[in-house]
């Protein structure tokens, strides 16, 4: 029997927090969906990002429709993981807003969010590598660029994902103990 606490003293505060965090999830999802589209349709922005953030160097970059389509498809790798993480966070705080703190669903949402962040960690550098390859693969030999770069935020995504997986494991055990104790009452 899951414990579905519908009211307790701190619930109004949790509901306010959940509202704001869910709003941030919506804004984050909009950014995840719109940013790649805007990036891959803007020559100036794409060239700046490719040269400075993705470290594509000064080799010629192909900005034709095929390359842009590939770039958008490549952006779907980390985008999908990020959207999944945001969806799980949205759902998690939906549970909290309904007063469902120690039940199976929030634990499942926390675990799935952790998994999404663990997937996001390698998807980010992989997408940067593939994006630079897409921009230079039509260049003649000697002008194609392979960039493999890891950044601290890739490590942080992995660590936060692993921490959430650990927290989900602890929460699952706490939920089990709470359900056991509720049966004694």
Is pLDDT at 183 greater than 90 in this prediction? no
- Name the pTM for this structure: 0.89
Of the pLDDT bands very low, low, confident and very high (cuts 50, 70, 90), residue 57 is confident
DSSP string, the chain: --------TTHHHHHHHHHHHHHHHHHHHHHHHHHHHHHHH-HHHHHHIIIIIS--TTS----SHHHHHHHHHHHHHHHHHHHHHHHHHHHHHHHHHTT--SSHHHHHHHHHHHHHHHHHHHHHHHHHHHHHHHHHTTSPTTS--------HHHHHHHHHHHHHHHHHHHHHHHHHHHHHHHHH-
Of the pLDDT bands very low, low, confident and very high (cuts 50, 70, 90), residue 101 is confident
- Model pLDDT, residue 6: 58
Q: Where are the domains of the chain?
A: 11-184
Of the pLDDT bands very low, low, confident and very high (cuts 50, 70, 90), residue 61 is very high
């Amino acid at each position: 029997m899951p414990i579905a606490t519908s009211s307790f003293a701190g619930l109004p505060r949790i509901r306010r927090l959940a509202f704001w965090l869910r709003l941030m999830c919506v804004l984050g999802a909009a950014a995840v969906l719109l940013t790649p589209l805007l990036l891959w349709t803007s020559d100036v922005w794409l060239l700046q990002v490719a040269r400075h953030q993705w470290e594509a160097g000064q080799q010629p970059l192909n900005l034709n429709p095929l390359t842009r389509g590939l770039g958008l498809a490549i952006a779907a790798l980390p985008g999908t993981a990020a959207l999944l993480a945001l969806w799980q966070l949205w759902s998690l705080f939906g549970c909290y807003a309904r007063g469902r703190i120690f039940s199976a669903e929030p634990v499942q949402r926390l675990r799935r969010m952790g998994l999404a962040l663990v997937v996001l960690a390698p998807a980010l550098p992989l997408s940067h590598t593939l994006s630079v390859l897409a921009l230079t693969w039509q260049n003649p030999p000697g002008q194609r660029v392979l960039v493999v770069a890891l950044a601290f935020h890739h490590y942080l995504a992995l660590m936060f994902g692993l921490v959430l997986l650990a927290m989900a494991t602890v929460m699952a055990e706490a939920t089990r103990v709470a359900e056991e104790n509720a049966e004694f009452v």
